[in-house]
Structure formats: C-alpha cells, structure tokens
Structure 1
C-alpha cells in the first residue's frame, strides 16, 4: 500500500459522487480529486481549501498527479496542506526544485513567527536571521548588530525606548547583501522589519486574550527576511540591506510611559500617548537608517495595526504608499504572485493626524485603536521619517501574517503571506 495519497486536478465534473458539490477534494479509490472550473482565482482558492481538507483528515503525505498542476496550483495546495509545524510532505508534479525552495522559505518564516516568546527574543531572532542568510549567500553577507545602550550612541532612540524595560536588550540588526563585494556599491533597496518579539502593550497593557498571540508581533521582520532569502534564491544581483528593529515591549520601573517624549536622530520629537503603538516607534529608526544609506527603494513590513485587519480582513495584506506608480506596480506584482494585497489611503496630510501640543507629533491618538483611520494615521506617522517625502517607499501592514485559529485556508499560526510579493518587487 502506498505511503502517500495521490491528488489529482480535474476539469471533468462528476455527477455520481457521494460527496457534496461544495467539497474541495473528493476522495476515491485512486486518491483525492479536486474538480475545478473556468475562474482561476476561484480554482486556486478551492485547491488551497482542498489542502486544508486533506490535512484535517489526518493525511500527512501526498503526491500531486497529472498534467494539470502548474506552479501556482501546486503552491496554493502547499499553503493549505500545511499543518502548524509544517510536518506534511508533498511530492511535486513539476517545478520541484523551485517549489521546494519556496516551501522551505515559507516554513522558515512561519517557524520564526510561531516560536514561543521564551525562544524568540531580539538577540535570538537576530542570530537566526543572520545564520539563515549567511548560509544562503556566505560570500555576499555581512552582519552588524547594535545592541542595548549602543542604540543610544547610534541615535536609535525608538528601538531603545520601547525595549529598555526587558532583561533581553533591544537591538537593530543590519544585514548587508552585497553580491558585487564592492564596498562603494549603491544600496538599491532597504528592507525594514518590525521585530517586536513580544508585545505586552506596555503601560497601555493588552488584555490577556489580546496578548496571547503577541509572539507574532515580529511577523514583519520574519517576512522581509524571508523575502530576501527567496530573492537571493531567485538570482538577486543587487545590493540590498535588511534592517530589523527588535525589542520586547514589556513593563518595569524603567519602561517608557504615557507623556514621555522621544527625540529621534533627525531631531523630530514624539509624544507617547499609547505605549501599545510601539511598532511605528521602532520602524522610524529603520526608515531614518534607509535615508542615511540613500536607498533607492524602501520597503517596511509590520503587524502594525488592528485597524488594517478590520479594513482588509485576514486574507489580505494592506499596502500604503504616496508613490502612486510604485504602489500600482506592487499591486500588479502581488497579483502575479497570487498574494492578496489591497491599497489603503495615505496622503501627505496623514503625517499631521496625530497632533501633540508638546512635541512635533504624538505616536497615535489617545483613543482605542487610534481612532478612525488608525491604519492610515500609523502609516502617516511613518511617512514623517521616510526619506524623500515617501518617494520610493512602500509600507506593508501585514494583517494576513498570523491567524489565531485554523480556518478553511490556513492552519493555526503564521501564513508567511507577503514574502513572495516583496521578493518579486526586489527582483523587478
């Protein structure tokens, strides 16, 4: 008896099956068959649901059979046929090496995000990312970490302020991928990731149920790191730097408080009105760094706001940019990569939507969720720190990065949604 279940895709509808027509995968003597139609977007969604169905049936190894499996259909199945710990095995129908690399990268991203907070903290996150990228491109990678009070000396006050209350020091990790090995090569792109490895909310403390999943608040860091890994595998030949802004947002006598004012390296001042709006505080340091190295393209990713999730749900990521041409190109790339991405509003005047009488700006509005338009206002805060008034800058609020419970498309935990789009944006 075979140790794997054969899975087929078919356009031939059957009228004699005992299975309901809405069932993603129909089981038979030869294995499982997924009956598809004319709309490919619907087909991919059904195929991913079929993967979840087979995982829920307790199947842990499959072989994709037949000629109707193109790379995107196989990838959709892969996303569904993935348990939380990525133990399931797939024999691919075609493009095996490409799909194996993609699945391994996605599994690595998910593993980072799913790790418990006693294992994932700023220094361990930095070490895991550094080791992974060094293994992928050992001759082209250099790594620098700015740790603890070194952040003050380097002017990275947002990261230090958010993370100083933890016994585990905050840090900024800079990974330089420079395939030319020319130290004077231009930095074509900087990827910036929010690396809050646990978020209690600080003195604006979260509820117990709201805090349970906050190991995932470093999902932005994992996603951009995975994007760089994938882009290198795909032949990236440009100099790209990865900047991870890492901290634990905890509480003790040294924790930052409501009413505190942070002065950033560019002398902008920020009043703290919500210590649970910490992600934007650390990303500001990363954006200032990107300006210092004159990056042509800047992409940040963060599990930044609940407001973005309210707006786009958990199947999409949200995109913000004031660079219309770049934003449209990115939406097209996301569609090509079969990753759901939706652009939300951002204008220059969003920079002033969190006013303060005591500083240049506040880090939010002093109301639940930052009030109406909270995701755009958070992006507007970041826009204050983006070089060139936001030209060449993309902000991903990755609402789809983590699911607290399994659904018809994804297992419990991280999804890695977004790493393909960001990698393809680097490669365009």
Structure 2
C-alpha cells in the first residue's frame, strides 16, 4: 500500500464482491469506502472505515470524489488519525470547506498532542504557558494573558487550585485568557470557558491503584478541550468577547499535600471538607467557576475529565452533559448532534448539591464510598453548582468521558480524541 492513498465514498452497489465485514475495497490504486446512502451516510461506519484504512499502513489519506460531506470527512479523519500522524488527512470540496477542516484538524492535533504528553513533560505551569502561547499566536492583538502561580494563588484566595497542587514540587497555576476582538475594556464578556488542568492525578492520599493511575496524564483533558475550542472559534471568526480559565495543578502525595479531613474555605464563603483527595478536579474547577461567575457572562461552560461514573454511564462513547438550565443542556445536545460530537445528558437538579454532606462544613467534596457512591457523576456536578449563580442559568458542565482511550478500538486509535472541542466551539459561535 502506498504511503498516500486516494479515498472515495462509494455506494454499496457500485462494486460486486463487497464483504459485509469489511467496509473498504481497493481498486485501481484507490480505496473505496462503502456506504448505503452517500447523501445520509452512517458516520460511525465511516469512522470505523478510517481505522481500517490506517491499519493498512497508509500514511496520508487524500479524500476525493463528490460524495464527501464535511461531517463525513471529519468522521473519517477521526478514525484515521493517531499518535504520530494527527494531521494526515487531505480534505476535498470547495475552498471554504477545505479551509475549515484543515483548521479543525490542526487545532485537534494541537489539543490531542497536549493531552498525550507525558506527565513529566507537561506540568501545571507549562500547560498554562503552552495554552497561552498557542492562543496568543492566533490573535496577538486581541488577547490578554494573566497567570497566577504557586503561593500567590493562596494569597489571592484561589484555595482549591492551591491546595490540590501544593503537594507537588511543580507549582499550581491559574491561567486567564481574555479574547476581546473589539479591544474595548468595557465590552461585556459573552462566555467563559473553564477547563480542568490536572497534569497528573495520583489520587493524593486517596491514592489510585496502578491501573487507575496509568492514563492520568489525560486528566488535563478539560483544559486542552476548552483551549482548543477557543482556538478553533477564533479561527472561524469569533467576534464576541470570550474568556478562558484553566485550573492547573498536579495531585501528588507528599508531606505537605492536602489531606482527608481538611476544610477549604472558598472565595464565595462555601466551606468544603475533604472526604476524598482523588475528587480533586471539582475542587480546582470551583475556583474557575467563581472567577467566571464574577464576570457575569451569558454563558459558562466547564469541561473536565471529572468522574469514572460518567465513563461507566456512557461507555466512553459520549461526553456527559449537566445543567440545571434545561435550555442550556438541550441546546448543547442539539449542537453536539449537528457536529457529530456524541454527548448525552445526565441528571442534575438543585438537590444534588446536598449529596455530599459534611458534619463540619457546608459540604464535602465527595463521599468515602468508591466512585462517590450512587449517582457519582451527578453528585460531582451538584458540587460544582454551588459555585455558579443560584439556579445555574447559562452554565453547562461537560464531563469528558470520551476524551481519551487507553487502548485502540474500532473507532479510535489509542490516546486523546479531541471529543468536546467541536461542541464548545459551536456553542460560543
């Protein structure tokens, strides 16, 4: 097989001898992907075909022919790309479509590569710096950067990020990116994106088993997703003022790490007892949500690889959506469907805020039960709801259950997927 292959979509009856178990056929130096109806193809099958084409040793896939829609091309690219060849698809169609897909592939490649970096390569400050540099290069005149590092977090009251990260020799950091294309400092903030940036999660004193810790370099996937979404929106013509807040820390065990039974007091006055140091993502996000709420935006979207419970619920095939604002979750679900970025809503009501009780504080950060007990993903979202405006109007929480795959499968190569970027991009555009 050539290092570069021409790939065309073809109707099932265009060739004889199709094998039901194999969606591709090679003929005349081309690879044809079989679909029943090119006007309404099964995108999941096209993504699986992308995996099969990649397994043939093809280095670059050149899409060609009249049947490729934008979504079909992107589905193929998701299946075909992998570590080492994250920008290996050449798209087809009109100039606007090709440009959009090239920009999307480049942003996804950046975000996926960031998530795939080893935890020794990527520490909290370098995560913040890499995201800041990438975004600044896209719109140098429109972006302002602010980074708070180490003890200064405690001095300014960002107790969640500080306490989760204080046990590591690599200091925690909070990055704020202000994208303001009009340049007027009085322009209201339309949306704030908040990303969980745990560059490695040992679990702290509630330490993970080795198997559970193995892929925890991906625990900053929410930060990469949020930054990638803003980057893609900027390239696709974002005109509104949007801020990005990345909550970056490394959750380690040491003589000065935070401990079970500690009580944290947040800027909004909420006190939190630590019942599980491995429920750290919600602690850092709480700071980000407080900061976001202070800006009074129309929309707050946080993204995080937050709970194993969401992965169990969705099988890692969908991201889990949570909102007390039912319009937000309905809109996000519709948008995710339009851009083929699978997502599914899970329960969140006001009563979920009381699902992690404490005798010593307003709430605990989890429970002492494995996985946070029944409804663990909803309970985590309920904890976060304490740090946005009452009723949660305009707030959406995305638990990125489909962000990373430890091993390859029929849909994805091993590693980061970029799942969630397209949904957030569309929401802020």
TM-score of the alignment, normalized to the shorter chain, above 0.5: yes
The residue number in structure 1 matching 2:190 is 188
The residue number in structure 1 matching 2:82 is 83
User: How much has 1:40 moved relative to structure 2?
Assistant: 7.1
Q: CA contact under 8 A between 1:290 and 1:387: conserved in structure 2?
A: no
| Partner Cα separation in structure 1 for residue 206 and residue 40 of structure 2 | 41
With 40-49 and 147-156 compared, the bigger mean Cα shift is at 40-49
Deviations 1:160-189 (A, max 9, x none): 000001111001100000111111111111
1:71 matched to 2:73: no
The residue number in structure 2 matching 1:8 is 8
| Partner Cα separation in structure 2 for residue 389 and residue 152 of structure 1 | 28
Within the candidate set 133, 136, 150, 2:135 is matched to 133
| Partner Cα separation in structure 2 for residue 154 and residue 24 of structure 1 | 57
Deviations 1:369-398 (A, max 9, x none): 001100000000000111243110000000
With 290-299 and 396-405 compared, the bigger mean Cα shift is at 290-299
- The 5 Å alignment of 1:166-205 reads 166-205=168-207
Q: CA contact under 8 A between 1:60 and 1:87: conserved in structure 2?
A: no
The residue number in structure 2 matching 1:305 is 307
User: How much has 1:14 moved relative to structure 2?
Assistant: 5.2
- 1:253 is paired with a residue whose SS is coil
The residue number in structure 2 matching 1:271 is 273
- 2:234 is paired with a residue whose SS is helix
- 1:400 is paired with a residue whose SS is coil
User: How much has 1:354 moved relative to structure 2?
Assistant: 0.4
> RMSD over aligned Cα, in angstroms?
1.4
Q: CA contact under 8 A between 2:275 and 2:366: conserved in structure 1?
A: yes
The runs of 5 or more residues in structure 1 that have no matched partner are none
Q: CA contact under 8 A between 1:172 and 1:245: conserved in structure 2?
A: yes
With 320-329 and 35-44 compared, the bigger mean Cα shift is at 35-44
1:320 matched to 2:317: no
Deviations 1:133-161 (A, max 9, x none): 00111110010001111111111000000
The residue number in structure 1 matching 2:257 is 255
Q: CA contact under 8 A between 1:190 and 1:295: conserved in structure 2?
A: yes
1:378 matched to 2:384: no
Q: CA contact under 8 A between 1:5 and 1:61: conserved in structure 2?
A: yes
Q: CA contact under 8 A between 2:190 and 2:298: conserved in structure 1?
A: yes
| Partner Cα separation in structure 2 for residue 312 and residue 41 of structure 1 | 25
| Partner Cα separation in structure 2 for residue 342 and residue 407 of structure 1 | 21
| Partner Cα separation in structure 2 for residue 176 and residue 89 of structure 1 | 32
- 1:222 is paired with a residue whose SS is helix
Q: CA contact under 8 A between 1:191 and 1:243: conserved in structure 2?
A: yes
User: How much has 1:353 moved relative to structure 2?
Assistant: 0.5
User: How much has 1:84 moved relative to structure 2?
Assistant: 1.8
With 126-135 and 2-11 compared, the bigger mean Cα shift is at 2-11
- The 5 Å alignment of 1:203-218 reads 203-218=205-220
The residue number in structure 2 matching 1:287 is 289
TM-score (norm 1): 0.97
> Cα–Cα, structure 1 residues 296 and 15, in superposed 2: closer, same or farther, change >3 Å?
closer
- 1:133 is paired with a residue whose SS is helix
User: How much has 1:28 moved relative to structure 2?
Assistant: 2.2
The residue number in structure 2 matching 1:363 is 365
Q: CA contact under 8 A between 1:5 and 1:31: conserved in structure 2?
A: yes
The residue number in structure 2 matching 1:43 is 42
| Partner Cα separation in structure 1 for residue 66 and residue 84 of structure 2 | 30
Deviations 1:283-334 (A, max 9, x none): 0000100111112210000000000011111110000000011211111111
The runs of 5 or more residues in structure 2 that have no matched partner are none
Deviations 1:336-359 (A, max 9, x none): 111111000000000000000010
Q: CA contact under 8 A between 1:288 and 1:387: conserved in structure 2?
A: no
User: How much has 1:24 moved relative to structure 2?
Assistant: 2.1
Q: CA contact under 8 A between 1:3 and 1:61: conserved in structure 2?
A: yes
Within the candidate set 153, 159, 162, 1:160 is matched to 162
User: How much has 1:65 moved relative to structure 2?
Assistant: 1.7
Q: CA contact under 8 A between 1:85 and 1:111: conserved in structure 2?
A: no
> Cα–Cα, structure 1 residues 30 and 240, in superposed 2: closer, same or farther, change >3 Å?
same
| Partner Cα separation in structure 1 for residue 267 and residue 319 of structure 2 | 30
The residue number in structure 2 matching 1:238 is 240
User: How much has 1:16 moved relative to structure 2?
Assistant: 3.1
User: How much has 1:266 moved relative to structure 2?
Assistant: 1.2
| Partner Cα separation in structure 1 for residue 89 and residue 237 of structure 2 | 25
| Partner Cα separation in structure 2 for residue 13 and residue 121 of structure 1 | 53
The residue number in structure 2 matching 1:27 is 26
With 70-79 and 85-94 compared, the bigger mean Cα shift is at 85-94
The residue number in structure 2 matching 1:52 is 51
User: How much has 1:42 moved relative to structure 2?
Assistant: 5.9
Residues matched between the structures, number: 426
